[in-house]
Amino acid sequence: MDKSGKKRKKWVEILVVAGSICLAVLAGIGVANDDKILKDVGKDEQKENLISVGFSQVGAESGWRTGNSVSIKDAFSAKNGYALIFKDAQQQQEQQIKSIRSFIQQGVNYIILAPVVETGWDTVLKEAKDAHIPVIIADRKVKVKDESLYTTWVGADFYQEGIKACNWLNKYAKKNGKKRLNIVQIQGTQGATAQLGRTKALEDSAKEYGWTILDQKNGEFTQAKGQEVMEMYLAQYDDIDVVYCDNDNEALGAITAIKNADKKLGPEGISVVSFDASEEGLQAVKNGEIAVDVECNPDFGSEIVKIIKRLKYGRSVDKEYYITDKVFAKTKEIPSIEAGKLKWDVVQVTEDIIKKRRY
């Protein structure tokens, strides 16, 4: 090999040796960094031995929401190894955005967001992503341009809930000889996934079964507003067959308005359709005041714990986790309902079921 060839060979050898030293150093740093991160986290955990979680909750507008908060607080307790920072936003999106920013400032390990509405989250979720804090969306969904801004979502299929309720209602109407139905809807918070899904299900079902939707107004998922909206409907319409309420609190408000107007509840008067299957809602079903109540189970705190455990140990998680819902009625006169290709047995409400309700 000539001189230049020998020189080139030398350079190659030097480069190979230098390269392997660099790799070793980088790997070393990497290991040191890993060690350092683990040591740091170790120190933090040794010091507090807790995983910090910031939870931005919508508010306390309904029995469902209260139950959901209890579920998250129970799951993310100190005895389970968590330091939970719980923030109630009183149904204000800007409060939720402020809370997320404070979680980022505090350097929490994870953020859980129960979004009051679907839109308006891109900026603040980008800030969380830039801070390398995984965000888990709970209950309602977010609509963002970049899906990588959140790690996963846990909640119910709200459209399917509505289809279940309407499938039951169609069978119930037929059983009671009602060819046509005039329906008013008391909607939940405008733009909330639960409101959007349950509304679309009603509108699609009305087209399929030939029902007439007389009116749709916002009841904000609260009892007071639900009563107010039903009072407006009763003043405006004298041929209402069904009031379709986006949750139990609205339904309880509507029932009060119907009773105050000396109108009948049920197939001879106004049938009430509701969602959540809270303790109060199921009591109203057992009393014959709510005709059908489709569950929306808020008790998924332990599901989110499982997800965080997977993330903590570097394991993959799905983008969506669906919670299953039952269908409750006073009797099993309608034994089962279908939604798409799926079928559910109707659950008859008993005292025991009510007593065992966690929310």
Which residues contact ligand GZL (rule: CB under 6 A)?
Answer: 61-62, 64-65, 139-140, 156, 192, 194, 221, 247, 275-276, 296
Pull the structure tokens for residue 46: 């040794």
Closer to ligand GZL by Cβ: residue 205 or 274: 274
What's the closest the beta carbon of residue 209 comes to ligand GZL, in angstroms?
23
Closer to ligand GZL by Cβ: residue 108 or 115: 115
Closer to ligand GZL by Cβ: residue 192 or 337: 192
Interatomic CA distance for residues 324 and 322, integer angstroms: 6
What's the closest the beta carbon of residue 144 comes to ligand GZL, in angstroms?
18
Closer to ligand GZL by Cβ: residue 182 or 218: 218
E runs forming strands in 150-203:
152-155, 182-187
Closer to ligand GZL by Cβ: residue 66 or 102: 66
What's the closest the beta carbon of residue 219 comes to ligand GZL, in angstroms?
10
What's the closest the beta carbon of residue 322 comes to ligand GZL, in angstroms?
12
Closer to ligand GZL by Cβ: residue 74 or 299: 299
Residue 344 bridge partners (DSSP): 337
What's the closest the beta carbon of residue 298 comes to ligand GZL, in angstroms?
7
What's the closest the beta carbon of residue 356 comes to ligand GZL, in angstroms?
19
Closer to ligand GZL by Cβ: residue 52 or 150: 150
What pairing do the DSSP bridges indicate for beta strands 271-276 and 152-155?
unpaired
Are 150 and 133 a contacting pair, CB within 8 Å?
no
What's the closest the beta carbon of residue 231 comes to ligand GZL, in angstroms?
20
The DSSP 8-state label assigned to residue 147 in this structure reads: G
Interatomic CA distance for residues 26 and 36, integer angstroms: 14
Closer to ligand GZL by Cβ: residue 62 or 205: 62
What's the closest the beta carbon of residue 140 comes to ligand GZL, in angstroms?
5
Query: Cα 22 to chain center, whole Å?
Result: 48
What are the strands of the beta sheet with 292-295, ordered from one edge? 212-218, 182-187, 242-245, 271-276, 292-295, 327-329, 342-348, 336-339
Task: Name the burial class of residue 85, with classes exposed (0-12), middle (13-18) and buried (19+) by CB atoms within 10 angstroms of its CB.
Answer: middle
Interatomic CA distance for residues 136 and 113, integer angstroms: 6
Interatomic CA distance for residues 290 and 159, integer angstroms: 20
Query: What radius of gyration, in Å, describes the C-alpha atoms of the chain?
Result: 27
What's at 43, amino acid-wise?
A: K
Query: Whose structure tokens read 């998922």?
Result: 221
What pairing do the DSSP bridges indicate for beta strands 212-218 and 51-57?
unpaired
